[in-house]
Each structure stands twice: as structure tokens, then as C-alpha cells.
Amino acid sequence: VRGGAAAAPASAADGNTLTLSVALSDSDVKSVVIELKPEWAPIGVERFKSLVREGFYDDARFFRVVPGFICQFGLAGDPALNAKYRNARIADDPVKELNSRGTLVFATSGPNTRTSQMFINYKDNLFLDKQGFAPIGEVVQGFDVAQAVYSGYGEAPSQPRIQKEGNAYLKEAFPKLSYIKAASLS
């Protein structure tokens, strides 16, 4: 602290420790703890924290799970939230950290197209580094939980339908999907 001024205490919502309460099934809820790293990707971390504070990820399904590669989430259960962020793209952060096992990363459809979708790398996916995927944090507890999310549907859920219909579509067509009961920062 410079000049003798005391730093203002940070509120819990401003912290960089993310806890995902993950429902592997309706009766089996476990935690995944992720340490966000603003020094790796400041733009991405700020967007992600904003979405967490808004409740965007609460009740969101892991709609794309590819064993040995990634698990993906980040389309809200509420179609109105999906509409709000569908075209709210943010600029890319330069890739400063490797897409190694356990890193949290924004999904993209090309340069400067990050919105709300995230994935956790199940293994070292270093080929993603050259494609511009900048990790924003890493799992520090509960990686086994992330690996245990339901993978039986693979990539079958339709992202356009999730965006339009939200959890109504997913609960009917893909009832076994694991989901985030709540996401919180501390």
C-alpha cells in the first residue's frame, strides 16, 4: 500500500475464488473450486465474474461433455439471459498460460467472440493455445467432480435450442445432464 493509505477491504463478490456447486445427479452435489487468474486474462476474468454475480451460471447444464477432452457449460437455463449475452462479445486476451489439464477457458467461435460459454480442460490441450484460447483460471479442488459430470449425451444437445428454450428443453430431452446449482465468488 502506497502513501500509508489502507486498501479498501474487498467484498466476497470481488474475490477470485470461484466455487461451483455441481449436481452430478439430483441427490449428489459436490464442489469444484477454481482460482481465477486476472494476470492471465483480465478481460475474460472480469466478464466471467460479472456473469457469476448476475447468477448467469446458476442452474446451467454441462451441455457438451467430451471425455478425455473437455466439459462445457455457459448457456443459461433462462432464455432471457442467453438473449442478453448472445451477441455481447468481448475482446480476446492474449494467451499467457497453457491450456493444461484443469484450466478454465472461454469457448469461442473465432477471434473476439467470447460471450458466456466456458470449458474445463480434462487434459493438456496445448493445440488450443495457438487457436487463441486464453485460460482464465484453474481448478484447485474437485477436478474429479468436473470429470464426473454426465457425459452420456456427448455433443447431442442443440446449442440453438438451449439458447431459445433453456432448461425446459434440456430437462425434457436430456434429463441426466449434470448442472451447476450455484456459482459463487469469495
Over residues 25-84, the pLDDT tens digits come to: 989 999 999 999 999 999 999 999 999 999 999 999 999 999 999 999 999 999 999 999
Asked if 31 and 145 touch (Cβ cutoff 8 Å), the reply is: yes
Residue range 151-175: mean pLDDT, rounded: 97
Note the pLDDT of residue 13.
Answer: 56
CA-to-CA separations, 43 to 12, 119, 161, in angstroms, rounded = 20, 17, 28
Could you give the maximum distance between any two Cα atoms of the chain, in Å?
Answer: 60
Note the pLDDT of residue 10.
Answer: 45
Does 3 score more than 70 pLDDT?
no
> Does the pTM of the predicted model rise above 0.95?
no
Note the pLDDT of residue 14.
Answer: 75
Residue range 86-97: mean pLDDT, rounded: 97
Instruction: Quote the CA–CA distance of 55 and 116 in Å, as a whole number.
Output: 12
CB 42: neighbour CB atoms within 10 A? 12
Over residues 4-29, the pLDDT tens digits come to: 444 444 445 579 999 999 999 989 99
Note the pLDDT of residue 26.
Answer: 86
Strands (E) across the chain are located at 17-25, 28-36, 60-61, 64-66, 70-73, 103-106, 118-121, 135-141, 179-185
Residues in the chain: 186
Note the pLDDT of residue 2.
Answer: 38
